Amino acid sequence: MRKERVIMLCLIFSVIMFSSLIYACDEDQLIMKLSNDTNAHGEIYDGVGGYLTEICYDVLFEDTYDELDPHSCIVIPDSNKVIGLSNDTNAHGEVPENTNYATPVCYGDLECENRTGACDEDQTCIVTLSSGTNAHLAACDSSGAYNTKICCISPSAGIAPGIPYWANIEGNFLTKAEVMPEVTTLVLSLIGVQLGEGANIEAKIYEYDWPFEDQPIKTLYGTSDVNGEVRINWTASKEDLDFARDGDGEFDNFYFIMYNGTDPVGTQSGDLNITEIDNCDWVTYCMHYSSQTSCSKNVCQVENISAELNNPSMTCGKEYNSEIECYEGYGCSCKWNGEECGPNYELEISDCAGDPPNKSIIGSCDYNEDSEDDCGDGSLTYSWEGDWAWDILNSVSGDPGDTNYIEDPIGSDDWHYDPLVRSAECVNGGSTVPCPARVQLPFFGFYNFVGSLILICLVYGLLIKREY
């Protein structure tokens, strides 16, 4: 019995010691902390709550983020906000698109969105939330993880010296891209090699052509910069993409190899999965964008027609309104809501008569659109929900005694500047619109032919067998 007690005490001591060896990442790799792995409150990376569940960049992305001051918030070219917190510590959270909370958690070059269910293949789950706002938090790998996930990409993760990689025009690492011929520019990139300045580089782009030998579909030329790094732009033409298609009209992944003379420079690049956007023929409204990237880039510039369709009483842009002797500005855009792309507009009032130059952002309207129509009759019937959000600075507590302010919600004693009550225009609705022209799928390609030939042979063989 004495021996068993000693063994039990050793086991308990070992568990306690092991539990104390919780991985602690360096502060510059720390995104945020949680009070537990589920049903938790959150705090910023240097919060004073002493939380032990750490969300670490280098663990999640298996790479180290080396840039200075990774916790600073940026908005251009893309926001690096991960979530919003209600306080520095002991805080509830909300998805990055919301602006109810004044404490943002930002990190490095992360580009985040909230998703219901699994993150996309090129995304990494950072943290999960019990709802869109006023939420408890949980770690992504917790058995109690919530269904609302904060999914992020880190464009710099995966870039390694000597290994060529695909990037967008901003220099962000890519594994997949939506490409519009003659418009979208991809960058063939290489860092960390001793080339010196001015080395002549030849880059050959291939598409996997199994079971046949891969043939180059494009050869590009460039030179190394003052740091010995190589970046060669490729704006794919329609001919480039058509040449790369397989017999079934589809692409396999693309890769490239760089040469200095006849000598390869670095290794073969990583793979890039390309989806062709055919000259905006398939994009008439924001809802037709299928990914967060295409939605935010909005190369087809359909934000105005989309927003004005849902709110016919407004016109995107800035116009003088004599009723209030001010300029009204509707800033329209396409916005990803976590699952779909929809129109959004932000309303501001500025340059009012008799006042010095000023600008007051009233609020914004997000449209969450939904449809089960398959465009079988050439038209698309859809509905939308209008979600109005007051600007975080447009709120006062208590009746200001000014008719330009309205109380919202009624009875809350929260008042907002809205002289023309434009917030009431952000409402639910529905409409029927023409379907976009779609890229036609090939009717009968190489693989269709092979499959049909095999089927004919099998049927013929069965008929012969029956005769004998």
More confident residue, 158 or 4: 158
pTM of the predicted model as reported, rounded to 2 decimal places: 0.44
Query: Counting beta carbons within 10 angstroms of the beta carbon of residue 269, is it exposed (0 to 12), middle (13 to 18) or buried (19 or more)?
Result: buried
CB atoms within 10 A of CB 281: 12
Q: Is residue 104 reached through a cis peptide bond, with omega within 30 degrees of 0 on the bond before it? A: no
The pLDDT score that the predictor gives to residue 62 is 80
Average pLDDT over residues 58-71: 87
Residues 6+ apart with CB under 8 A from 16: none
Q: Tell me if 87 sits within 8 A of 102, measured CB to CB.
A: no
212 near 206, Cβ under 8 Å? no
Measure CA 202 to chain center. Answer: 32
Instruction: Please give the pLDDT value at position 252.
Output: 82
Which range (114-123, 130-139, 140-149, 326-335) has the least confidence? 114-123
Residue 16 has pLDDT above 80, yes or no: no
Decide which of 400 and 23 is more confident: 400
Whether residues 299 and 270 fall in one domain: no
58-87: average pLDDT = 87
Question: Which domain-ending residue is among 94, 128, 153?
Answer: 153
What span, in angstroms and rounded, lies between the C-alpha atoms of 83 and 138?
13
Domain-terminating residue out of 153, 180, 202? 153
Same domain, 59 and 81: yes
Q: Which residue has the tokens 């004919």?
A: 456
Within this chain, do residues 170 and 144 fall inside the same structural domain, yes or no? no
Residue appearing with tokens 């914004």: 364
Cβ pair 283, 289 in contact under 8 A: yes
Same-domain pairing of 143 and 174: no
Residues 146, 91 share a domain:
yes
**Beta strands, E only, 208-253:** 216-223, 230-235
Judge whether residue 270 has pLDDT over 60: yes
Give the per-residue pLDDT at 9.
44
User: Cβ neighbours of residue 160 under 8 Å, at least 6 residues apart?
Assistant: 192
Question: Is residue 149 located within the same domain as residue 170?
Answer: no
Q: Are residues 339 and 395 in the same domain?
A: yes
Q: Which two tokens stand for residue 394?
A: 């447009």
Q: What is the largest CA-CA distance in the chain?
A: 101
Q: Say if 96 falls within a structural domain.
A: yes
73 and 186 share a domain? Answer: no
Structural domain of 374: 293-434
Domain boundary among 153, 186, 208: 153
Give, in order, the Cα–Cα distances in Å from 398 to each of 173, 401, 416: 49, 9, 10
Tokens in use for 187?
A: 């960058």
**211: cis peptide before it, omega within 30°?**
yes
Helix (H) or strand (E) holding 13: helix 2-20
Better-predicted residue by pLDDT, 459 or 420: 420
Handedness of CA 310, 315, 321, 324 (dihedral sign): positive
Higher pLDDT, 350 or 140: 140
Average pLDDT, stretch 375-379?
79
Q: What is the pLDDT of residue 221?
A: 97
298 plus 414 within the same structural domain: yes
Beta-bridged to residue 365, according to DSSP, are: 345, 388
pLDDT tens digits for range 138-173 = 999 999 999 999 999 887 787 778 889 998 877 778
Measured CA to CA, the distance from residue 464 to residue 194 in angstroms comes to 68
Residue 250 is predicted with a pLDDT of 76
Specify if 15 maps to a domain: no
Q: Is residue 36 in a domain?
A: yes
User: Average of pLDDT values for 202-216?
Assistant: 90
The number of folded domains in the chain is 3
